[in-house]
Structure formats: C-alpha cells, structure tokens
C-alpha cells in the first residue's frame, strides 16, 4: 500500500502540484482512509521527502555503477550518464518532474539533505570531466564545473519538454546530447 500511496501522490503532485494536492485527494483516489495514509507517512511533506530521497538515491547508485566501470573512457561515462537521465524521463518521468519542481515544498533541513545528494551527483560528473581533462581526453582549457552544469542543464531540463514516445527515441536524444557536449569538449 505504501508504494500505491507514493505512486498516486506522484501522479497528483505532477497534475495539481504539491500544495494543491491534499491528503484527502490522495486517499480518495485510492479509496482508502486517512488512517491508511498516516500508517505509512507522518505528513504530506514526509511523503514528498521520501519521493525525493528514493529518486536521487536511485540515480546515485546507477551513476556509481557507471563510474566504477574501469573499461569505459571518460567520454563513454558521460554518454552513459546522459543516457541514464534521458531514459529516466520515459521510465520515471512523473517522479523526475516532481523531484525537480516540488523540492521547494520541503522543510529547510530536508531541502539540505536532498541538495547534498544532488550536489554529489553533480560533483561525480564534474570529476569525470576533470579526469578527462587531466588524461588529455578533453580539451585542456575547459572548466569542469561549467561543463557539468551544461550537461545537467541540457539533460534535466528535458523533463519539461521531451516526449519519449514521440518522434525522437531516448537513444536518439542521448546521441544528440552526447554529440553536442562531446563535440565541444573532446580534444582534437
């Protein structure tokens, strides 16, 4: 039931927004009581925090698997991370949109916890870029931090407009974004 509450909440948060969705809306959609909700979550904010932590923790685990693969070049690692983010739009689009859009509704200390994990994700990418620069795989005059923000900006903003069931497949969009990024940073 906890997963059903979470999934229904994500759908409602995406449609109506966090602040416009009541606990009553959630339980009505599932045809359960508020007691059922409170058995699993102490508040709507705690539910939102749970959604955020599960989303970012999952990304960090999968990112680490890419980073730990020593057979991949730095270019390949960046491409796989971009692919992971784009494929998530198809597989977890609603969850991702809630993650990016509704963080402002978390309490300050909870925002801090989520931002710490988001920063770790970003710093992991920045490290790949910096290692690629140091290895001569990427141009030497790059700022790894700015390249990283560019990668995340392109990939993360895609949650707002990309339709994975549309004309461009997730693999095609990954290739477009990877080519765009790598053409600008790969050493000649």
User: Where residue 32 falls among pLDDT bands split at 50, 70, 90?
Assistant: very high
CATH of the domain at 57: 1.10.357.10
Residues 100 and 159 in one domain: yes
Query: For 142-152, what is each residue's pLDDT tens digit?
Result: 999 999 999 99
Residues 59 and 33 in one domain: no
Residue 100 has pLDDT above 90, yes or no: no
Classified as helix, coil or strand, 164 is coil
Residues 4 and 64 in one domain: no
Q: Is the Cβ–Cβ distance between 75 and 182 less than 8 Å?
A: yes
User: Where residue 160 falls among pLDDT bands split at 50, 70, 90?
Assistant: confident
Q: Is the Cβ–Cβ distance between 61 and 120 less than 8 Å?
A: no
Section 49-77 average pLDDT: 97
CATH of the domain at 35: 1.10.10.60
Residues 74 and 123 in one domain: yes
Tell me, what's the pLDDT at 46?
Answer: 96
Residues 155 and 181 in one domain: yes
Q: Is the Cβ–Cβ distance between 95 and 59 less than 8 Å?
A: no
Q: Is the Cβ–Cβ distance between 111 and 45 less than 8 Å?
A: no
| 90-102 core/surface letters (b: 16 or more CB in 10 A; e: else) | eebbbbbbbbeeb
Residues 67 and 17 in one domain: no
Residues 33 and 18 in one domain: yes
Total domains, the chain? 2
Residue 23: give the domain boundaries. 1-41
* DSSP track, 47-58: HHHHHHHHHHHH
Residues 128 and 51 in one domain: yes
- Mean pLDDT of the chain, nearest integer: 93
Q: Is the Cβ–Cβ distance between 78 and 128 less than 8 Å?
A: yes
Residues 76 and 147 in one domain: yes
Residues 37 and 52 in one domain: no
| Lookup: tokens for 104 | 């402002």
Residues 83 and 115 in one domain: yes
Section 129-152 average pLDDT: 94
CA–CA gap between residue 181 and residue 175 (Å, rounded): 10
Q: Is the Cβ–Cβ distance between 43 and 22 less than 8 Å?
A: no
Is the pTM higher than 0.75? The answer reads yes
Residues 22 and 82 in one domain: no
């Amino acid at each position: 039931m906890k997963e059903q509450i979470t999934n229904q909440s994500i759908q409602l948060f995406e449609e109506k927004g966090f602040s416009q969705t009541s606990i009553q809306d959630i339980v009505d959609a599932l045809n359960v009581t508020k007691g059922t909700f409170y058995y699993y979550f102490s508040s709507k904010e705690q539910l939102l925090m749970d959604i955020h932590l599960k989303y970012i923790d999952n990304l960090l685990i999968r990112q680490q698997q890419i980073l730990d693969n020593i057979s991949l070049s730095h270019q390949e690692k960046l491409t796989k991370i971009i692919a992971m983010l784009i494929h998530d739009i198809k597989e977890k689009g609603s969850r991702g949109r809630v993650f990016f859009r509704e963080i402002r509704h978390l309490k300050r200390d909870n925002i801090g916890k989520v931002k710490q994990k988001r920063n770790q994700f970003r710093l992991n990418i920045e490290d790949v870029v910096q290692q690629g620069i140091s290895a001569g795989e990427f141009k030497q005059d790059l700022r790894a931090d700015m390249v990283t923000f560019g990668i995340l900006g392109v990939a993360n903003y895609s949650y707002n407009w990309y339709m994975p069931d549309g004309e461009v497949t997730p693999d095609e969009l990954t290739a477009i974004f990877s080519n765009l990024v790598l053409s600008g940073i790969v050493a000649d």
